[in-house]
Amino acid sequence: MVWRPLNLAEVCPVHTHLSACSHFGYVYLHLLVQLFSGSSDRRIQEKLGYHESIEDEDRIVESIGSYENRKHSPEEYDFIVVGAGSAGCVVANRLSEHKQWKVLLLEAGQEEPDITMVPGLSTVLLGSNVDWAYSTEPDGKSCLASREGRCAWPRGKMMGGTSSINSLAYVRGNKLDYDTWAAMGNVGWSYRDVLPYFKKSERNLNIEGLDRKYHGVEGEQYVSRYPYIDKPSIMMTEAFNERGLPLNDYNGAYQVGAMQAQAISLDGQRVSTNTAFIHPIRYKRKNLTVKTNSEAVKILIDKYNRAYGVKYVKNNLIYTAIAKKEVIVSGGPINAPKLLMLSGIGPKDQLEKLGIHVVKDLAVGENLHDHVTFNGIIIALPNRTATTRENNEVLREVIDYAKKEIKDGPLSGNGPVSSVAFIKTEPYLPAPDVQYQVNNVKWREYIKEPTDYDRTTIFPTSFYDGLEPRTMNLVPRSRGKLCLNTTDPNGPPLLYANYFDDETDLIPLIKGVRFLLSLEETQAFKANGARFLRIQLPACRDHAWGTDEYIVCLARKYTSSPYHPVGSCKMGPKWDKKAVVDPRLRVYGVSGLRVIDSSIMPNVPRGNTNAPSIMVGERGVALVIEDWLYN
């Protein structure tokens, strides 16, 4: 068994009405385990006669605890890529195209399980064993209604990383985002520079693919709409259209608009970067070695400040791998800065307090930021519009999807999650400052126990009687930071999201909700009997529903992350004191070391971050290849 679901016994309240915590919830999860807990890569490995054992691993150079110390030379590679996520899979693919280079791809998590392939089961992955299950530190300004004042920050812990656990939306951001990166001194990162790398990866299967100026059709990453889109989802897009947002390809020339977002999907199944970039080559390219359940714990750096390898842990043993050319860190916005700091690259004062030898004093972990949104604005649907199913019907849909060779039906879509829109809250703005993305809810359960409901979203996104359009601030000014855990530096790092530290971040949310509430007057809403539920949530009962004060209360109490953290290894020119990597993604002061993932983004793009992360992988690895082949 590869996949284990969320442990309901740990997260369910003792006395609750939540259906996820009922006997049916346990039966449902048990069925998912029986149907989807395997892995296609495991099956291929078994067919090929591959049996992983300690003897098959890289030579052990030291041991943990009581394990025997085996004195063998470490294996050598040309490149070591740490992290098989949205960017890392791209990097490993492109490097291994060059047969003369030997490439090692390390992934701390396991093989990607079958459960990840089902779009309608995307939320059941949260809190399971393929989620790092990080959470933010309490700050007294946000996430106040959540347990201990912490917001969840899920990250994928498996092949494909967060591209295997996210909501699948393919959104690039705005031209202005990348032009701003370039204006900050990051030469080669303007929109004109990065657009070819978006297109290189993309294999667009929809009408957008006819626009070859903005879209690619020959890349590895499949991009398409789901074969199943339900009526409430279409209602949301039509309502936004009625309110003046055009039906628009917001990955093209203009971003303002609304449509059913395209997804990283093919024929009703997820296509993670593992599926797109690694799976087709993994058992064919002899110069590519992939090691799962292998967590890098230290970058090896010599006395000349040159990175020459990594130490990683597998099966409670420490191994060493040598990189003759470069170590490339693609661990993402949390694990990349953590690894750098454990290796002596980071804020001097913090490292010295932990007894870590300082190799290079850099602002690693700073500039951490995320789009901020919140829960609690609910649209109730009448029975004729709701998509709810009886328990036995839910089980039947799950079984039917598993049996079908051609995936269709409700689970081949992701409910209303692809109902995405972008607006400018003021006409003078150069680009959108608010994004809407819609969650599904069972509203009668939600309004009584909203925080516990959000922790137990195990059922298919396809079945619901309420919509929760979340207003997202695309241009947050607040900045947080990431620090190593002082009690256990190797454990989960301390994440200070610092939402609403700059209170002006609340302004786009208030204006965005005002626009959102106007949808109730559209013909689309009226024809479907949809209405905003004017019931105050428990933590905001002191404020009148719909007022600015109520919206601010929701934002602070029911704060939610759209899971778009970036910036913790900031890219910038040499004079930028917060910069960790230069515009060629080389770590300042340490040769042979780069960071290629979303942690390098100086500002978060206006939209979901998976597509930009894939682009960073493409652009970053192109720089590596250019340096080694053409300079």
CA distances to 58, 109, 226, 282, 528 from 50, rounded to whole Å, are: 16, 18, 35, 13, 55
Helix (H) or strand (E) holding 258: strand 257-260
Q: Which residue has the higher pLDDT, 432 or 55?
A: 432
Say yes or no: 379 and 524 in one domain: yes
Distance of CA 324 to the CA centre of its chain: 31
The two three-digit tokens of residue 578, written as one number: 């917060």
The two three-digit tokens of residue 287, written as one number: 């110069």
Evaluate whether residue 18 is within a structural domain. no
Confidence (pLDDT) at 49:
85
Helix (H) or strand (E) holding 295: strand 295-301
Residue 344 region, left (φ>0) first, then alpha (ψ -120 to 50), else beta? left
The lowest-confidence range among 58-67, 336-345, 444-453, 494-503 is: 58-67
Evaluate whether residue 363 is within a structural domain. yes
pLDDT at 456 over 70: yes
pLDDT band (50, 70, 90) for residue 631: confident
State how beta strands 317-329 and 307-314 pair.
Answer: antiparallel
pLDDT at 161 over 50: yes
Task: Give the tens place of pLDDT for each residue, 100-151.
Answer: 999 999 999 999 999 999 999 999 999 999 999 999 999 999 999 999 999 9
Say yes or no: 221 and 142 in one domain: yes
pLDDT at 61 over 60: no
Confidence (pLDDT) at 58:
39
Say yes or no: 80 and 130 in one domain: no
pLDDT band (50, 70, 90) for residue 63: very low
Evaluate whether residue 28 is within a structural domain. no
Beta bridge partners of 483: 494
pLDDT band (50, 70, 90) for residue 34: very high
User: What is the count of structural domains for the chain?
Assistant: 2
Distance CA 251, CA 244 (A): 19
Confidence (pLDDT) at 69:
41
- Which CATH number goes with the domain that contains 54? 3.50.50.60
Beta bridge partners of 327: 80, 593
User: How many CA atoms, within 13 angstroms, populate the side-chain half-sphere of residue 534?
Assistant: 7
Say yes or no: 218 and 297 in one domain: no
DSSP-derived secondary structure for 193-228: HHHHHHHHHEEE-SGGGG-TTT--BSSSEEEB--S-
Say yes or no: 445 and 585 in one domain: no
- Which CATH number goes with the domain that contains 382? 3.30.560.10
Confidence (pLDDT) at 515:
98
Query: Could you list the residue range(s) of the whole structural domain that residue 596 is in?
Result: 40-112+274-369+566-629
What is the percent of the chain where pLDDT is above 70?
Answer: 96
Whether the Cβ atoms of residue 320 and residue 79 lie closer than 8 Å to each other = no
Say yes or no: 308 and 412 in one domain: no
Evaluate whether residue 491 is within a structural domain. yes
Evaluate whether residue 87 is within a structural domain. yes
Helices (H), 332-474: 332-342, 348-353, 391-403, 443-446, 450-455
Residue 43 CB neighbour total at 10 angstroms: 12
Average confidence score pLDDT of the chain: 95
Task: Give the tens place of pLDDT for each residue, 510-527.
Answer: 999 999 999 999 999 999
Task: Give the tens place of pLDDT for each residue, 398-436.
Answer: 999 999 999 999 999 999 999 999 999 999 999 999 999
Q: What is the mean pLDDT of residues 451-480?
A: 97
Evaluate whether residue 490 is within a structural domain. yes
Evaluate whether residue 4 is within a structural domain. no
User: How many CA atoms, within 13 angstroms, populate the side-chain half-sphere of residue 439?
Assistant: 23
Whether the Cβ atoms of residue 602 and residue 479 lie closer than 8 Å to each other = no
For residue 6, give every residue at least 6 positions away whose Cβ sits within 8 Å of its Cβ, in sequence order, or none. Answer: 29, 124, 126, 127, 128, 456, 458
What is residue 165's three-state secondary structure? Answer: coil
Say yes or no: 242 and 313 in one domain: no
Say yes or no: 599 and 541 in one domain: no
Q: Which residue has the higher pLDDT, 533 or 630?
A: 533
Task: Give the tens place of pLDDT for each residue, 320-369.
Answer: 999 999 999 999 999 999 999 999 999 999 999 999 999 999 999 999 99
pLDDT band (50, 70, 90) for residue 388: very high
Say yes or no: 234 and 95 in one domain: no
Residue that terminates a domain, selected from 509, 537, 560: 560
Residue that terminates a domain, selected from 560, 594, 618: 560
CA distances to 207, 351, 371, 492 from 344, rounded to whole Å, are: 49, 7, 29, 17
The residues carrying an active-site annotation are 564
pLDDT at 56 over 70: no
Residue that terminates a domain, selected from 530, 560, 590: 560
CA 125, 131, 133 angle in degrees (round to 5)? 115
Say yes or no: 261 and 390 in one domain: yes
Give Dmax (Cα) for the chain.
74
CA distances to 3, 129, 440, 459, 531 from 6, rounded to whole Å, are: 10, 7, 19, 12, 33
Helix (H) or strand (E) holding 28: helix 23-36
What is the percent of the chain where pLDDT is above 90?
Answer: 95
Rg of the Cα trace of the chain?
Answer: 24
Say yes or no: 128 and 55 in one domain: no
Helix (H) or strand (E) holding 96: helix 88-96
Beta bridge partners of 296: 312
pLDDT band (50, 70, 90) for residue 51: low
Residue/partner pairs of 349-355 with CB below 8 Å, 24 or more apart = 350/483, 350/484, 353/486, 354/484, 354/486, 354/489
Evaluate whether residue 534 is within a structural domain. yes
pLDDT band (50, 70, 90) for residue 59: very low
Task: Give the tens place of pLDDT for each residue, 74-91.
Answer: 889 999 999 999 999 999
Task: Give the tens place of pLDDT for each residue, 570-615.
Answer: 999 999 999 999 999 999 999 999 999 999 999 999 999 999 999 9
Say yes or no: 482 and 524 in one domain: yes
DSSP-derived secondary structure for 152-163: EE--B-BTTGGG
Distance CA 376, CA 535 (A): 10
Confidence (pLDDT) at 52:
54
